[in-house]
Structure 1
């Protein structure tokens, strides 16, 4: 467990440093070159830094062991961090959209300088590498916060591609005297904003479902059913509810046993149910077992 959080924290720190450097580079070159799309992209990278800091705080809270006030653990801290990242994405996306739309109702913009293209190419490469690294690690250690960070990097990579097309179009428009192409730069900024907002809403929705403790669907809990029905002494699984709690799953289960056995024997069966679920499913951390006397209709 400790190694899981260590890997996630290292990945998050790598993201903070990389995004900080990219935000400074893109912001400065965007200002020097006069590219609105690149400045918008710099703001996106800056939001990544803020998001990564929130994720880091969430990871450090999530790894705390259960206590009196949090008997189920602190796993949902990761989901809170995910929602913070999502909100940052949405806010940044709206700001980018407003900035880009203003251009269409003002004076004819000037085309950015060619140096902007070099900065965007570097950004695309770095952000895609960060996405691949964090996406694979998030899937491996089952971290929603790290997965949110990965998609934040991918959104930055996609926005950089849109910015590249916009800047290139604006430069070509000025060079070949096609004024309409100069608007490609702010248009790219608008496309970037749509991408960012969409990803933000998607992440917020997914984490909100976990925060509201939505139970897993029938297909996902079927393996848990099979594990319990194979445990000696279990006559029937009356009810099994599984809910995510951050990176792990909490199970509430009712099983029927022979009504004529002793309380101690029933207790031992419940311990075997808990042990069987935790030993056979690495994503299950907490199991609460209720024992029912076996009848044709158990309740």
Structure 2
């Protein structure tokens, strides 16, 4: 019951984080699109499209965390935790596409006449930067606290929006200054900044996507990350050795496969009881979803095998 309540709390918190992203991105996209059209700012309109694309990412996160909450079944005995990691891959791909789109649009702008935008565009961009940075900090905190790959990736999606908006701010500011100082070439600071940000976004998407794919392929925690688990298992009365301990990542939790050695002269029931105590001890860690135990007879010659 305690474990079920813990998972329910995690689901509610992560789901709320996803909804914050959806609602926040819809409002920002609408504000930037309206102001961008009024101020005749291509940079701001493009930034609005970027925010709108974030809505898709946040919806994907919402779907992913709902799927990950489903209990184990006959076809998925280890649970559905990897649904969040798959979602993280999808969001990373969307981020990569957005980066390419920004780069292409910025490149085209070098060969088209660009109008000087209105000053009101600057205020809209500054507002977007502040809101997006707050959303990033909130979601990265939730993602790390509840070990949600999808939420962490979506948080970095928000941070990419901050970079995009900063580039738009530089471009719009330089364009306005160029118009006031009669320096026509400064108008092209906007697409130049856009290209720089596009490279940052693509690089970030590649990094996040690579990490998510790595976690999807039955990644096991490194030996230094399972030291405490092994100590806990060794501390259970009756455990004479831990022959092997593998902790496989399944999204926000791990499944532990452990081989323990016990006195070869005790009964099967006594060995089973020791195994149950090891599982109970390891399950005290919020990160551990399930423990699969194999009991070996202890032998000094084979204690490491």
1:266 partnered with 2:300: no
Structure 1 residue 118: Cα displacement: 1.1
Distance (Å, rounded) in 1 between the aligned partners of 2:170 and 2:133? 17
Structure 1 residue 192: Cα displacement: 2.4
Instruction: Tell whether the 8 Å contact from 1:62 to 1:78 is kept in structure 2 after alignment.
Output: yes
Task: Report the counterpart of residue 4 of structure 2 in structure 1.
Answer: none
Structure 1 residue 66: Cα displacement: 0.9
Q: Deviations over 1:88-137 (max 9, x none)?
A: 10011101101101122x14422222121111011011111111211212
Structure 1 residue 23: Cα displacement: 1.0
Task: Report the counterpart of residue 30 of structure 1 in structure 2.
Answer: 36
Instruction: Tell whether the 8 Å contact from 1:37 to 1:188 is kept in structure 2 after alignment.
Output: no
Residues 145-164 of structure 1 correspond to what in structure 2 (within 5 A)? 145-164=150-169
Task: Report the counterpart of residue 4 of structure 1 in structure 2.
Answer: 10
RMSD (CA atoms): 1.4
1:242 partnered with 2:227: no
SS in 1 for 2:249: strand
Q: TM-score, normalised by structure 2?
A: 0.93
Unaligned ranges ≥5, structure 2: 1-6
Task: Report the counterpart of residue 118 of structure 2 in structure 1.
Answer: 113
Task: Report the counterpart of residue 21 of structure 1 in structure 2.
Answer: 27
> Where do 4+ consecutive residues of structure 1 move more than 3 Å?
none
Match of residue 294, structure 2, among 279, 285, 290: 290
Residues 68-147 of structure 1 correspond to what in structure 2 (within 5 A)? 68-104=74-110, 106-147=111-152
Distance (Å, rounded) in 1 between the aligned partners of 2:176 and 2:143? 39
Task: Report the counterpart of residue 71 of structure 2 in structure 1.
Answer: 65
SS in 1 for 2:54: helix
Task: Report the counterpart of residue 3 of structure 2 in structure 1.
Answer: none
Distance (Å, rounded) in 1 between the aligned partners of 2:204 and 2:191? 20
The number of equivalent residue pairs is: 297
Task: Report the counterpart of residue 173 of structure 2 in structure 1.
Answer: 168
Match of residue 224, structure 2, among 219, 239, 243: 219
More deviation in 136-145 or 126-135? 136-145
SS in 1 for 2:171: helix
Distance (Å, rounded) in 2 between the aligned partners of 1:225 and 1:39? 55
Instruction: Tell whether the 8 Å contact from 1:159 to 1:195 is kept in structure 2 after alignment.
Output: no
Task: Report the counterpart of residue 53 of structure 1 in structure 2.
Answer: 59
Distance (Å, rounded) in 2 between the aligned partners of 1:268 and 1:261? 11
Structure 1 residue 234: Cα displacement: 1.0
Unaligned ranges ≥5, structure 1: none
Distance (Å, rounded) in 2 between the aligned partners of 1:158 and 1:257? 57
SS in 2 for 1:183: helix
Instruction: Tell whether the 8 Å contact from 1:35 to 1:112 is kept in structure 2 after alignment.
Output: yes
Instruction: Tell whether the 8 Å contact from 1:159 to 1:191 is kept in structure 2 after alignment.
Output: no
Distance (Å, rounded) in 2 between the aligned partners of 1:117 and 1:263? 74
Instruction: Tell whether the 8 Å contact from 1:163 to 1:192 is kept in structure 2 after alignment.
Output: no
